[in-house]
Amino acid sequence: MLSIGSILLESPLILAPLAGYSDLPFRLLCRQFGAGLCVSEMISSHGLAYGQSKTISMLDSCAEERPVSFQLFGADPDIMAEAAAILSSRCPDVIDINMGCPVKKVTKRGAGAALMTDLPLAEKIVKAVVEKCPCPVTVKIRSGPDSAHICALDFSLMAEDNGAAAVAVHGRTWKQQFSGEADWQIVADVKREVKIPVFGNGDVKNHAEAITRMHQTGCDAVLIGRAAIGNPWVFSEKGRPASLSAVVKVVRAHLELIDSHFDEPNRCLGSIKNHLGKYFKNFPGSAKARKEIYQQADFTALSSYLHRIG
């Protein structure tokens, strides 16, 4: 069984951090379908350090989702350390450091994938966070800033030397964003050279492909991102059911988890509709269902609608 530090994972398939998607209800659902670990949406270190209520609400968790990993982003080692200490007071199982996000509002402040241009700063951050955290710390990186500067191995060795418990490698450069195909050779190269567990990431579509990637590269686990959106079955061997009614049943379960864990679901109705709409892909009549989801006036109407069609 795979372990990250002292945390044991029942499955090597992990829900990747997904801003806008990997919130508590979805993490719970993915765990139910077999994910060994789920990573939260990226959480601003500044938001935590300055006590912003919206950021603090992103730390919501519950016993049933454990083990869980919370991801921090930021570029200031002191603020990252402060945020890690605040996060640690909630006893997460794992804390992950984001060094892979290519989104402008993150990289323009030197955080996310921009850290891959500055190994000394990245090292200060890993060191500062590890020092504050009693739990294992993982680092999520890309292959490098661009194809001329592939540095995933240097970053992985740095993470290992500074006490990281595992490294997750997305086989694309910062410049590539999400274009082209992920290069899994870089995952194999990192795995060969480091002693800590290596998680591979990029373009995995289903359970079988994840296992194949592990065999091909020797990596210890696989992070699944986009293929999990609207598809928590991706973590199970059987995969997504063929019938619309079986899908709707799980969408309703997702909605119930939202109802149990969100204080005011109507306040984020747009993102709930967006998330639930993603389940309705590649079914006859799915475009109609998505459209109708968007037409529902509030959370109660959305719930009744899903009961009507399932």
Ligand X SMILES: Cc1cc2nc3c(=O)[nH]c(=O)nc-3n(C[C@H](O)[C@H](O)[C@H](O)COP(=O)(O)O)c2cc1C
Q: Which member of 5, 67, 77, 100 binds ligand X (CB under 6 A)?
A: 100
Active-site pick, 101, 135, 151, 219:
101
171: its two tokens: 């086989």
Nearest alpha-carbon partner for 144 in 115, 168, 124, 108 = 115
Q: Work out whether 224 is an interface residue with ligand X (CB under 6 A).
A: yes
Q: Is 101 a catalytic residue?
A: yes
Q: Which of 37, 101, 115, 129 binds ligand X (CB under 6 A)?
A: 101
* From 41, 76, 82, 220, residue interacting with ligand X (rule: CB under 6 A): 41
- Is 42 a residue that touches ligand X (CB under 6 A)? yes
16 binds ligand X (CB under 6 A): yes
Candidates 11, 143, 201, 296: give the one binding ligand X (CB under 6 A). 201
DSSP 264-300: -GGGGHHHHHHHHHTT--SSTTHHHHHHHHHH--SHH
Omega before 67 within 30 of 0, i.e. cis: yes
Do 102 and 174 contact (CB within 8 A), yes or no?
yes
Stretch that binds ligand X, among 12-20, 30-38, 246-254, 286-294 (CB under 6 A): 12-20
Q: Give the residue at shortest CB distance from ligand X.
A: 225
Helix pair angle (244-261, 269-277), 10° resolution: 160
Output the smallest distance, CB 301 to ligand X, in A: 26
Q: Is 225 in the site for ligand X (CB under 6 A)?
A: yes
Name 14's bridge partners: 37, 223
Closer to ligand X by Cβ: residue 124 or 142: 142
- From residue 307, how far is each of 248, 253, 300 by CA, in Å? 8, 11, 11
Site string for ligand X, 241-280 (x = CB under 6 A): ----------------------------------------
Q: Measuring CA to CA, how many Å separate 190 from each of 124, 151, 202, 256? A: 21, 10, 15, 41
- Given the rule CB under 6 A, which residues bind ligand X? 16-20, 41-42, 71, 98, 100-101, 140, 170, 201-204, 224-227
